[in-house]
Amino acid sequence: MGVLVDVIDYDAAVAKVFAAAQQQRPFILTALAAHGVMTGVSDRRHNARLNAFDVIVPDGQPVRWALNLLHQAELREWVSGPELTHRVLWRAAIEELPVYLYGSTPRTVARLAGALTRTVPMLRIAGAEPSRFRDAEPGEYARIAERVNASGARLVLVGLGCPRQESFVHAMRPLLAMPLLAVGAAFDYHAGLLSYAPRWMQRNGLAWLWRLVLEPRRLWRRYLVLGPRYLVRLSAQKVGLWEPHVPVPSHRPAEPAPV
């Protein structure tokens, strides 16, 4: 649909993250579900930002199915943002690479930091900073980068929600020589504030329905409006009624972008 989602699995995604961490070079990754893909379809500037990411993993059965349907990708599993976060954190602990947590609310970040120290005992959390839920002020990205660098972190996890987190890590990429991972609701899951959908719902592409039942007021538009639009676009592309435009990747941050 014009968004360059990678044909990739957990092992390959984790390997790319830690190659960048060891080499201390800029790297940005996001986990896009169907609604995340649609944020690019509906906004060409944001689409160009997404296409500048080093890796976009297919988060959710509908995205995996689309890759297999349109491109014969033969992906056997989707790459869940929370599960990818879990695997990255364990490897960071083993390799003794400090992690910086950025985003969400003060309550969530505090609970997340406490939960991670229990579930990943060897993990070194270099810093934890909640979102300000506003547009960035002049020079603010540079100040955030200074705090991250001063903490000694070698990896940053960002939980701001889609599409805010993608705009944020895209803007921060030139300022930090380390991986930045936009992991969305992974903060809430690992903090114990959200529960996972049953496995049978995940296997059948119904994890969205579980989230909708849990948070109907916040998520109704995401799933009841963007979901059908996703299916219509996918079907039109498959039968040749619509050809997606693929925007040139943008390496310039959005103005203004959230922090």
Range in 24-28, 108-112, 219-223 with the lowest mean pLDDT: 219-223
Please tell me the predicted confidence (pLDDT) of residue 214. 87
* Closest residue by Cα to residue 257 from 161, 137, 173, 143: 137
- Would you place residue 255 in the very low, low, confident or very high pLDDT band (cuts 50, 70, 90)? low
Asked if residue 108 has pLDDT above 80, the reply is: yes
Range in 14-18, 164-168, 186-190, 246-250 with the lowest mean pLDDT: 246-250
Per-residue pLDDT, averaged over 239-255, amounts to 80
The angle, 0 to 180 degrees and rounded to 10, between the axes of the packed helices 140-151 and 164-172 is: 70
Instruction: Say which amino acid occupies 120.
Output: V
Which tokens sit at 194?
């959200």
* Closest residue by Cα to residue 91 from 60, 124, 67: 124
Task: Round to whole Å and give the CA distance between 23 and 21.
Answer: 5
Q: For tokens 């790297």, what's the residue?
A: 27
Percent of the chain predicted with pLDDT > 70: 98
Please tell me the predicted confidence (pLDDT) of residue 253. 61
Asked if residue 70 has pLDDT above 60, the reply is: yes
Asked if residue 257 has pLDDT above 80, the reply is: no
Per-residue pLDDT, averaged over 110-137, amounts to 91
**Residue 160 φ/ψ, nearest 5 degrees:** -115, -5
Question: How does DSSP classify residue 204?
Answer: T
Largest separation between any pair of C-alpha atoms in the chain: 53
* Closest residue by Cα to residue 27 from 18, 40, 35, 38: 18
Which tokens sit at 246?
């693929």
Asked if residue 97 has pLDDT above 60, the reply is: yes
Instruction: Say which amino acid occupies 111.
Output: R
- Mark out the alpha helices in 24-153 (DSSP H runs): 34-42, 44-50, 61-71, 81-94, 106-119, 140-151
Please tell me the predicted confidence (pLDDT) of residue 256. 66
pLDDT digits (tens, 9 = 90+) for 127-168: 999 998 888 888 999 999 999 999 999 999 999 989 999 999
- Would you place residue 249 in the very low, low, confident or very high pLDDT band (cuts 50, 70, 90)? confident
How are strands ordered across the β-sheet holding 99-103?
55-58, 27-32, 179-182, 155-159, 99-103, 125-129
Please tell me the predicted confidence (pLDDT) of residue 203. 86
Measured between its terminal Cα atoms, the distance across the chain in Å is: 28
Q: For tokens 């959005």, what's the residue?
A: 254
Say what the pTM is: 0.92
- Would you place residue 252 in the very low, low, confident or very high pLDDT band (cuts 50, 70, 90)? low
Please tell me the predicted confidence (pLDDT) of residue 187. 93
Q: Is 99 helix (H, G, I), strand (E, B) or coil?
A: strand
pLDDT digits (tens, 9 = 90+) for 15-69: 999 999 999 999 999 999 999 999 999 899 999 999 999 999 999 899 999 999 9
Instruction: Say which amino acid occupies 199.
Output: R
Please say whether the beta carbons of 243 and 7 come within 8 A.
Answer: no
